[in-house]
Chain A
């Protein structure tokens, strides 16, 4: 019974480390889509392929050991199977770990869904001396069993064929497979099933035996199903059923001296053991595997911390040093999109001011997006390395080694990597740090880890540190940077302890974690994951950051300096123009190009010419082309722009004179424009707020200039130094030296205490916008996001005040 062009929904389920994602990649190929399951932070990967005109959609469900309702992953898997009703569920199973895998397979089987068993990692099983009789296993379970080696792409066609075969089998025959829960429990399960039959809808919507077993397991979600199911015409209510379940469980525990869930789990393992005994032709031999040998070194009492430190050092070096190099290399290419966008706007007819809309798009939107996209190459390297650590199996060992230390502060062994990414050592990034907490199973420790992430030292704080340290502690640069990271980490640990004790409620999840055998990761798997996660970041962040960048731009640009001041700046400009014309002399043939209205097009022409030349530099033939093209556009302007030189011709003395005078003119225009810009910032809303806050921030020694810089750096901390540059009126692109000179000049009253207070405040400064969005995304809560953005300000300010005030008492 096959219709034309069906849509077949297939779900992939399996335990962690069974190679499920390899199988997913193997059957879906490149057509993949990553999103989140609705309302939760668990990743939902789906992909599709076409076959005979039908679309087969594969959804990769989270890896789970079991199907209880204790964890989000398990609830998602269960709900997807029960509510979305996929045509086929493929259970991916680690062939070298058959017994434990069957424990999950049984639970899927009980949900009475059409199934295929994908017996993966056959090569690993073989290497470990395990030989599985596939036909026997299939007969025991009553479902098709397809052996695969996902890493090598073996078994792909067979698996697809089996999926198709099962999908076309309508109506699906669940077979009479049943797990035997033993003579103690079976009568009770049957009794409960009879009671459930009294609720018609319930047993129509859910497999009765599955529901009965889950109820005896005391599964909270199953209990809720009873209550929330319509029972108007039913002979028994949900409350009554729940009371019956309670009584049955109590009776059972009292008479058997064991809770039903213990019997249920034991029965599953008993049956799994029996099936393994019958279906295995040869069991694993007990010789030491390679994993044991590696662990003997890597988890050695003395060597373990040393090896961990080395690996983390290499990890950090590679990401922060080489990733940054890659980003610096890629940056000109990313930045080059600015050119064409600027080109979209007509050249400004005003030498002092860009068009408002242009300024918003270029300075606000494009600038904001570019400053974030700059980090993408770093993330690519970072995510690739994380994938390597995960795929090899070392990540679990990191947690194993570090757990004892971090647990004391309300954290978890699995917090190690997120914290390192966030910048325990100066120069991390909180965004991947927050993202990396996703692997943590302990929700409480995970939330605490996310919340202290703002206190880590992100990459964008570094230029500011360097500036401040250069100003106040030039002789001890390295030492102070080290002290900053030690200080902020200590504060972070303290805060973590406080949060986990007083703020974040909820039980810690039990710490039981598999230490999976080591694997050699596949390049394609690593690359795929790195790209996937980076893309997720770009998608999530860029739009929101762009919007807020516009907001910040608005805040530092408006309400403007008023018509009167603008007129004064215009007068300064006309004075400069007059000076220019005087310098050139009224008899110069090019004088007509130096009139007020003709100057902007001329300077725009020169700008474009300079830009085109710079691009063509080093290539004589294209340089010639550039010259010819600009010459043909306007001969006179070209002569001025080219310092009076005609290609191959004599030097035009008049044009050269104009060119020289223009250089001086340009300089004074820049100076006027800078003064105006400075005034604009000072009188902007951000500036006003900065002044308004001065009486309070003065307690920590911050004046309004620092306040403005801090306010404007909310969108991205990269702009901290840039804003200071604007405020202290430094020319763009002149480096940190000029800035620190002009700060020193403007703030001659500053002492070391000022510097210390500012550094400490920035060290504990709230996260940038991208991090806040990530926190919102990963905690699923706006409340936590707001909290994570405010507590560091309060904390940082209090500590800065303490330093400043107590310092003054001492000195």
Chain B
């Protein structure tokens, strides 16, 4: 499954990032690495972007970008 499919409160582990170039680098710089635990915190009022928590901080990510983050339910 992918990160955008999670509902608020659910947690998951990153399996792989299906993207390249700047987008890939940005996400990795912010700690989206294979094995990283991510908790879906909430959706923005219009359901996009998402607010996720990882490594002790929170990051906003657009739904279409989250769709390229392959995860596994924890």
| Chain A contacts to B: CB under 8 angstroms | 65-66, 68, 70, 96-97, 99-100, 103, 217, 259, 261-262, 265-266, 269, 284, 295, 299, 301-302, 304-305, 396, 399-401, 403-405, 407, 413, 507, 509-517
- Tell whether, in the assembled complex, residue B60 and residue A513 are in contact, meaning their CB atoms are under 8 Å apart: yes
CA gap between A96 and B43 in the complex, in Å: 25
User: Which residue of B is nearest A68, CB measured?
Assistant: B25
Partner of B47, one of A65, A404, A515: A404
**Distance between Cα atoms of A442 and B6 in the complex (Å):** 26
In the complex, what distance in Å separates the CA atom of A99 from the CA atom of B56?
9
Give the residues in chain A near B34, CB-CB below 8 Å: 262, 266
Known: A262-B28, A512-B27. A100 touches B57 (CB 8 A): yes
Q: Which residues of A contact B51 (CB under 8 A)?
A: 295, 299, 400, 515
- Contacts A65-B29, A262-B28, A299-B42 given; indicate if A404 touches B57 (C-beta within 8 A): no
Q: Which of B24, B27, B45 contacts A401 (CB 8 A)?
A: B45
- Once the chains are docked, how many angstroms separate the CA of A460 from the CA of B50? 39
Q: Which residue of chain A lies nearest to B20 when distances are taken between CB atoms in the complex?
A: A259
Q: Which of A269, A399, A407, A514 touches B59 (beta carbons < 8 Å)?
A: A514
> Chain B contacts of A265 at CB under 8 A?
25, 28-29, 33
Q: Give me 13 other A-B pairs in contact (C-beta within 8 A), A262-B17, A404-B49 excluded.
A: A70-B26, A265-B25, A265-B33, A295-B42, A295-B51, A299-B42, A299-B51, A305-B45, A401-B45, A404-B44, A509-B22, A511-B65, A514-B60
- Chain A contacts for B17, CB-based, 8 A: 262
Residues on A with C-beta less than 8 A from B33 are 265-266, 269
Contacts of A302 in B (CB 8 A): 45
Query: How many angstroms from the CA of A305 to the CA of B48 in the assembled complex?
Result: 14
In the complex, A99 Cα to B33 Cα: how many Å?
A: 13
Which of B27, B31, B44 gathers the greatest number of chain A CB atoms within 10 Å?
Answer: B44
Residues of the B chain whose Cβ atoms lie less than 8 Å from the Cβ of A515: 51, 57-60
Q: Is B67 an interface residue (CB 8 A)?
A: no
Inter-chain contacts of B73 with A (CB < 8 A) = none
Query: In the bound complex, do residue B30 and residue A100 qualify as a contact, i.e. CB atoms below 8 Å apart?
Result: yes
10 cross-chain pairs, A with B, having the tightest CB-CB distances, nearest first: A265-B28, A404-B46, A66-B29, A510-B23, A515-B58, A511-B62, A65-B29, A70-B22, A404-B48, A400-B60
Instruction: Please name 24 pairs of A and B residues whose Cβ atoms are closer than 8 Å in the assembled complex, sorted by A.
Output: A68-B25, A68-B29, A97-B55, A99-B56, A100-B30, A262-B24, A262-B34, A304-B44, A304-B45, A305-B45, A400-B49, A404-B46, A507-B22, A509-B22, A510-B23, A510-B62, A511-B49, A511-B65, A512-B59, A512-B61, A512-B65, A514-B30, A515-B57, A515-B58
CB pair B26–A403 under 8 Å, yes or no, is: no
Q: Do B29 and A405 touch (CB < 8 A)? A: no
Residues of A within 8 A of B49 (CB): 400, 403-404, 413, 511
Residue of A nearest to B58 (CB): A515
CA distance A516 to B30 in the complex (A): 13
Most buried by A among B29, B47, B61, B62: B29
Report A-chain residues with C-beta under 8 Å of the C-beta of B46: 404-405
Inter-chain contact A269/B31, CB cutoff 8 Å = yes
Q: How far is the CB of A414 from chain B (nearest CB, A)?
A: 11
How close is B52's CB to chain A, nearest CB, in angstroms?
Answer: 10
A513 contact from B29, B31, B59, Cβ within 8 A: B59
Cα separation A261 to B28 with both chains bound (whole Å): 9
Alpha-carbon gap, A92 to B28, bound state (A): 21
Given B42, B56, B62, which contacts A97 in the complex, CB threshold below 8 Å? B56
Assuming A70-B26, A511-B62, is B57 touching A97 (CB within 8 A)? Answer: yes
Whether A510 and B27, one on each chain, are in contact in the complex, defined by CB atoms closer than 8 angstroms, is: yes
* Bound CA–CA A295/B34 (angstroms): 28
Complex Cα–Cα for A630 and B44 (A): 72
State in angstroms the CA–CA spacing of A517 and B56 once bound together: 10
Q: Which residue of chain A has its CB nearest to the CB of B31?
A: A100
B61 & A511 in contact (Cβ 8 Å cutoff): yes
Other-chain residue from A266, A305, A403, A507 in contact with B62 (beta carbon distance below 8 A): A403
CB-CB < 8 A to A405: which residues of B? 46
With a cutoff of 8 Å between Cβ atoms, the chain A residues found around residue B36 in the complex are 269
A561 to chain B, nearest CB (A): 62
Are A403 and B48 touching (Cβ within 8 A)? yes
**A295, B60: Cα distance in complex, Å:** 13
Report chain A residues within 8 Å CB of B57.
Answer: 97, 100, 514-517
Quick one: closest A residue to B24, CB to CB? Answer: A261
Residues of B within 8 A of A299 (CB): 42, 44-45, 51
* B21, closest chain A residue (CB): A70
Most chain A beta-carbon neighbours within 10 Å: one of B24, B58, B59: B58
Please name all residues of chain A whose beta carbon is closer than 8 Å to the beta carbon of B23 when the two chains form the complex: 510
Q: What are the interface flags for B59-74 relative to A under an 8 Å C-beta threshold, 1 for contact and 0 otherwise?
A: 1111001000000000
Given contacts A66-B25, A510-B27, A512-B60, whether A99 and B45 have CB atoms under 8 Å apart is no
CB distance from A282 to the nearest CB of B (A): 14
A97 to B20: give the CA distance in the assembly, Å. Answer: 26
Complex CA–CA separation, A274 to B62 (angstroms): 31
Residue of B nearest to A303 (CB): B45
Best-buried of A100, A284, A396 by chain B (most CB within 10 Å) = A100
Pick the residue among A259, A407, A512 that contacts B26 (CB under 8 A).
Answer: A512
- Which residues 1-20 of B have a CB within 8 angstroms of A? 17, 20
Q: Are A103 and B26 closer than 8 Å at their CB atoms?
A: no
What residue of chain B has the Cβ atom nearest to residue A397's Cβ?
A: B60
CB neighbours (8 Å) of A304 from chain B are: 44-45
B62 touches A261 (CB 8 A): no
Give the CA-CA distance A401 to B34 in the complex, in Å. Answer: 29
**How many angstroms from the CA of A302 to the CA of B20 in the assembled complex?**
36
How near does chain B come to A698, taking the closest CB pair, in angstroms?
46
A128: nearest chain-B partner, CB-CB: B56
- Chain A hits for B41, CB < 8 A: 295
Residue from the set B33, B47, B51 with the largest chain A CB neighbour count within 10 Å: B33
Q: What is the bound-complex CA distance between A100 and B25, given in angstroms? A: 14
Q: Name the A residues within 8 Å of B43 (CB-CB).
A: 301
Residues of B within 8 A of A103 (CB): 29, 31
Closest to A66 in B: B29
Residue numbers in A under 8 Å from B22 (CB-CB): 70, 507, 509-510
Q: How far is B48's CA from A399's CA once the two chains are assembled, in angstroms?
A: 11
A200 and B60 alpha carbons, distance in the complex (Å): 45
Contact present for B65 and A510 (CB under 8 Å): yes
> Which of A70, A299, A413, A512 has the largest count of B CB atoms less than 10 A from its CB?
A512
Shortest distance between the CB of B27 and any CB in chain A (Å): 6
